[in-house]
Amino acid sequence: MANSVNLRKAARGRECQLRVPGVCNFNPETTVLAHYRLAGTCGTGIKPDDAQAAFACSACHDAVDGRIKTPFSREDLRLFHAEGVFRTQQILRDEGIL
């Protein structure tokens, strides 16, 4: 697998894969790698592996990290994020990165 720096760099200029309805800004200029936090894979000050992350615009990243309010439940936001991780992983597999 590619190292963490490469996957984080790979997020730049990509389409958001979280696509939170009514939140997504669809601006690839703001896309970063948004890590999905899953018990047992991260902790205080420790991010999950970069393969456990999604390409996310700044607005969607803020939503799933709880920095902005949305009409969605925490469970809904976790589902949007998880689906974004799966889509991102498929993109990276198609490109031979994962």
> How many domains would you assign to the chain?
1
Active site (catalytic) residues: 35
Domain that holds residue 54: 4-94
Residue 9 sits at φ, ψ, to 5 deg, of: -65, -35
Print the SS3 string covering 18-60.
CCCCCCCCCCHHHCEEEECCCCCCCECCECCCCCCEEEECHHH
Tens-digit pLDDT profile for residues 38-59: 655 566 777 778 889 999 999 9
- Tell me how crowded residue 1 is: count the other CB atoms within 10 A of its CB: 11
Average pLDDT over residues 20-42: 88
The conformation of residue 69, written as its DSSP 8-state character, comes to: -
**CATH classification of the domain holding 13:** 3.30.50.20
pTM: 0.86
**Cα 59 to Cα 68: distance, rounded to the nearest angstrom:** 8
Residues 1 and 43: beta-carbon distance below 8 Å: no
Instruction: Tell me what pLDDT residue 78 has.
Output: 97
